[in-house]
């Protein structure tokens, strides 16, 4: 201990704190932790000062200017402290507490929360958002949280507060039984309910929860794909309107296509065919597959017939007379020019054009 420090410590202190950090609590550095009689204490707005005399909370001061009275007297205290090696036996401390709102504090689920949904069953979800807190009862906050540390920041309590928030939010969402598809509609209501649910817990630490916000609740990728697939099916529910829309889109694309409508005709035709398949599938649901059976016997080839020259009835190759009128089977004729076969009733040869 230097002589200059000793002499400086005997002057009456002017105790104040200008907050330019993220500290919640700041201990004023008093020489040898001995506050003198008549020390000037200045507490600014959004601050509170806790005065500890001989290890006990003596008073909590709000914004304003105060003159402190302790058992520590300037100079006289030092003269009486020779036997303590100039260490005053009357110790006192001043802690400044920042009572402003600490905003933009982040919370989020470290691990997925398992929930039961009426439509999708058991699913995993994650959530994140922000909140704000402030010191409401400085004396209680000193006893329950920061103790006698010389400095205490928002980061030192952020992890614990986040755990309290996630626990309360998980319990509230589970009890609300809101369908996953409707959660986004209730963000404000859930935020207000979570704040009301957690306020008593924060008050028990000397804090308050002036703000709580849910920014997003997300689902696993496979559940999101399932929701997208279901949305697509709902959109395609009216296939008639859907195909009209597709046709209109194709015509528009064709107009912008250098190939014109002909360039996209194949795609449009394929789309229409696919629409017919969908329509048939929805109107005629698939039946259970039957057991495989033996392939059907090939149909007998039809026998060639020639017309009767009298009545025109067909005469089979093995018939010599017409079964309708009894006329004899017409004989085959051949072209005298090229030798080609002439069917009955032909007037000219189909091969060379010669008159029959």
Per-residue pLDDT at 114 exceeds 70:
yes
Q: Are 57 and 139 in contact (CB under 8 A)?
A: yes
Long-range (24+ apart) CB contacts under 8 A made by 326-329 are: none
Q: Cβ-count burial of 117 within 10 angstroms (0-12 exposed, 13-18 middle, 19+ buried)?
A: middle
Hey, is 278 helix, strand or coil?
Answer: helix
CATH topology of domain 102-219: Tetrahydropterin Synthase; Chain A (3.30.479)
**Cα–Cα distances in angstroms (integers) from residue 42 to residues 14, 15, 65, 308, in the given order:** 8, 6, 4, 131
Range with the lowest mean pLDDT among 48-62, 238-252, 329-343?
238-252
Q: Could you give phi then psi for residue 290, rounded to 5 degrees?
A: -85, 160
What is the pLDDT of the chain when averaged over all its residues? 75
For residue 191, name the pLDDT band (cuts at 50, 70, 90): very high
DSSP-assigned letters across all residues of 139-151: HHHIIIIITT-SE
What confidence score (pLDDT) does residue 302 get?
A: 52
Query: Which of 65, 75, 4, 62 lies closest to 36, judged by CA?
Result: 75
Mean pLDDT within 16-20: 82
More confident residue, 318 or 168: 168
Mean pLDDT within 282-286: 52
Please report, rounded to a whole number, the percentage of residues in the chain having pLDDT higher than 90.
Answer: 23
Query: What ranges do the domains of the chain cover?
Result: 3-98, 102-219, 307-356
Mean pLDDT within 115-138: 89
Query: Which of 330, 304, 343, 303 lies closest to 322, judged by CA?
Result: 330
346/355 Cα distance (integer angstroms):
9
58-94 pLDDT, tens digit each: 788 899 988 766 554 443 344 444 344 434 445 677 8
For residue 12, name the pLDDT band (cuts at 50, 70, 90): low
Please report, rounded to a whole number, the percentage of residues in the chain having pLDDT higher than 70.
Answer: 66
Q: Which of 85-89, 189-193, 220-224 has the highest mean pLDDT?
A: 189-193
More confident residue, 52 or 207: 207
**Cα–Cα distances in angstroms (integers) from residue 181 to residues 186, 188, 228, 231, in the given order:** 11, 16, 12, 11
């Amino acid at each position: 201990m230097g002589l200059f420090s000793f002499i400086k410590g005997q002057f009456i202190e002017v105790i104040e704190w200008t907050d330019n950090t993220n500290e919640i609590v700041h201990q004023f550095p008093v020489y040898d932790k001995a506050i003198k009689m008549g020390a000037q204490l200045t507490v600014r707005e959004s601050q509170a000062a806790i005065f500890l005399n001989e290890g006990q909370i003596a008073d909590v001061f709000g914004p304003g200017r105060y003159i402190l009275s302790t058992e520590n007297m300037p100079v006289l205290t030092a003269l009486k402290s020779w036997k303590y090696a100039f260490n005053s036996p009357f110790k006192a401390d001043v802690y400044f507490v920042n009572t402003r709102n600490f905003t933009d504090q982040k919370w989020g689920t470290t691990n997925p929360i398992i929930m039961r949904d009426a439509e999708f069953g058991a699913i995993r979800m994650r959530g994140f958002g922000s909140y704000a807190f402030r010191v409401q009862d400085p004396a209680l906050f000193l006893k329950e949280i920061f103790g006698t540390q010389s400095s205490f920041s928002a980061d030192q309590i952020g992890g614990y507060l986040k755990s309290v928030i996630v626990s309360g939010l998980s319990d509230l969402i589970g009890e609300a039984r809101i369908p996953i598809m409707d959660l986004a509609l209730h963000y404000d209501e859930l935020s207000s309910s979570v704040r009301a649910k957690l306020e008593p817990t924060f008050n028990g630490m000397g804090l308050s929860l002036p703000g709580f916000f849910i920014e997003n609740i997300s689902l696993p990728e496979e559940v999101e794909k399932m929701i997208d697939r279901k949305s697509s099916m709902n959109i395609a529910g009216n296939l008639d309107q859907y195909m009209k829309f597709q046709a209109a889109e194709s015509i528009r694309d064709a107009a912008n296509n250098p190939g014109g409508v002909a360039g996209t005709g194949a795609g449009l035709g394929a789309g229409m065919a696919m629409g017919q398949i969908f329509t048939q599938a929805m109107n005629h649901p698939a039946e259970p597959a039957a057991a495989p059976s033996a392939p059907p016997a090939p149909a007998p080839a039809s026998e060639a017939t020639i017309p009767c020259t009298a009545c025109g009835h067909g005469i089979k190759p093995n018939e010599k007379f017409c079964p309708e009128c009894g006329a004899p089977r017409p004989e085959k004729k051949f072209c005298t020019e090229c030798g080609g076969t002439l069917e009955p009733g032909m007037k000219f040869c189909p091969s060379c054009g010669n008159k029959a």
